[in-house]
């Protein structure tokens, strides 16, 4: 009897595996606490909820079958990662199908510049919300300018996330380098804790507005937004295509009674690998765009999924599957 049960269990496992025809799609995001994780989770949920039961029409190569059986149900989930750099590497290795990324980091990755030793064949699916960057500090810290970072402990983002691609130019424009202060690596949520107990003097925060960690910090602490120098910002806008001006409206965060002149430090965008199945990218793009109002209900960054913004060129070429959909609805600019 034990032998019979054992073999029956083996048969059941084989049967279950064989019957699982779903195409599992993972979206890389970032650590919890930033907008990437929230927005990526919203995108995954919306696409997953609005995928037809019979699935998407995928190529024979993607399904491992023939053109006659290329309808494949899909399951879409979001995955917390270390951020853009890890996402790009895992897209190339095939561990992720889609990912959120910072357009500044993607810009260098696709060209094999900076710390990227080779060109990475990634492609844009959709340009999303601006990545609104700012430094925050405790009002009692005495820091009022970026130059005041000298000799202090400053949180510059999670290790391996690639924030240096936009932070180093920002600091350089203000006459500051990483060597002038003690850079600390931590997540946004971790940075809030370091500011609270005085272990860090200031921290960089970025993402769509509102950024959860900034909301948490401003609610639990008396914070000060460190201003960017106007001349420094202008030089950045002229030198790099991924920087542009963004204003954080007054009262976005507790205690922020005036508009804050911030910057887009590389828009959040949805990317994939160049070799990902064109039909899958087309169906994903179509589903997300069609049901974009549902993303807005989950996070304000969903408002960026609009005809004017999604096709913005941030320096990384678009995937053919996305282009096909945008042409179909008449918003692609040749």
pLDDT for 177 equals 97
DSSP, collapsed to helix, strand or coil, labels residue 132 as strand
Domains of the chain: which residue ranges?
22-129+268-328, 132-265
pLDDT class for 14, splitting at 50, 70, 90? very low
DSSP, collapsed to helix, strand or coil, labels residue 145 as coil
Per the rule left: phi > 0, alpha: psi between -120 and 50, beta: everything else, 175 is: left
pLDDT in tens, 46-93: 999 999 988 888 876 555 554 445 677 899 999 999 889 999 999 999
Is residue 11 predicted with pLDDT exceeding 80?
A: no
**24 contacts 75 by C-beta, under 8 angstroms:** yes
Is residue 298 predicted with pLDDT exceeding 50?
A: yes
pLDDT in tens, 100-124: 999 999 999 999 998 899 999 999 9
Fold of 132-265: D-Maltodextrin-Binding Protein; domain 2 (3.40.190)
Question: Residue 300: which of 212, 214, 220, 213 has the closest Cα?
Answer: 212
- Residue 313 is encoded by which pair of tokens? 């060129």
Neighbours of 329 (CB within 10 A): 11
pLDDT for 208 equals 78
**114 contacts 108 by C-beta, under 8 angstroms:** yes
Fold of 22-129+268-328: D-Maltodextrin-Binding Protein; domain 2 (3.40.190)
Please state the rounded mean pLDDT for residues 279-299.
97
- The answer to whether 22-129+268-328 and 132-265 have equal CATH topology is yes
Enumerate residues 6+ apart whose C-beta is below 8 A from 178: 156, 164, 168, 171
Q: How far apart are CA 309 and CA 294, in angstroms?
A: 17
Is residue 234 predicted with pLDDT exceeding 70?
A: yes
pLDDT for 2 equals 59
């Amino acid at each position: 009897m034990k032998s019979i049960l054992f073999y029956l269990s083996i048969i059941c496992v084989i049967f279950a595996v064989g019957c699982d025809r779903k195409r599992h799609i993972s979206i890389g995001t970032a650590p919890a606490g930033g907008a990437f994780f929230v927005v990526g989770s919203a995108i995954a949920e919306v696409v997953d909820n609005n995928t037809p039961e019979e699935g998407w029409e995928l190529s024979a190569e993607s399904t491992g079958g023939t053109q006659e059986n290329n309808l494949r149900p899909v399951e879409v989930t979001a995955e917390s990662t270390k951020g853009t750099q890890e996402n790009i590497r895992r897209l190339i290795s095939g561990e992720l199908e889609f990912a959120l990324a910072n357009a500044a980091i993607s810009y260098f990755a696709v060209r094999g510049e900076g710390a990227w030793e080779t060109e990475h064949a990634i492609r844009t699916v959709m340009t999303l919300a601006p990545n609104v960057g700012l430094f925050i500090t405790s009002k009692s810290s005495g820091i009022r300018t970026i130059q005041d970072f000298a000799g202090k402990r400053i949180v510059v983002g999670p290790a391996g996330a690639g924030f240096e691609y936009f932070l180093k130019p920002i600091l350089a424009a203000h006459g500051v380098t990483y060597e002038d202060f003690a850079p600390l690596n931590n997540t946004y949520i971790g940075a809030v804790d370091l500011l609270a107990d005085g272990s860090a003097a200031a921290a960089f925060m970025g993402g769509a507005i509102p950024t959860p960690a900034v909301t948490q910090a401003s609610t639990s602490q008396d914070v000060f937004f460190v201003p960017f120098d106007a001349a420094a910002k202008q030089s950045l806008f002229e030198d790099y295509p991924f920087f542009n001006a963004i204003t954080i409206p007054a009262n976005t965060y507790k205690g922020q009674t005036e508009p804050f002149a911030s910057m887009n430090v590389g828009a959040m965008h949805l990317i994939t690998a160049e070799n990902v199945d064109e039909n899958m990218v087309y169906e994903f793009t179509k589903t997300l765009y069609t049901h974009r109002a549902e993303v807005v209900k989950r996070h304000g960054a969903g408002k960026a999924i609009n005809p004017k913004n999604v096709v913005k060129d941030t320096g990384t070429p678009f995937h053919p599957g996305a282009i096909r959909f945008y042409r179909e609805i008449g918003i692609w600019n040749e």
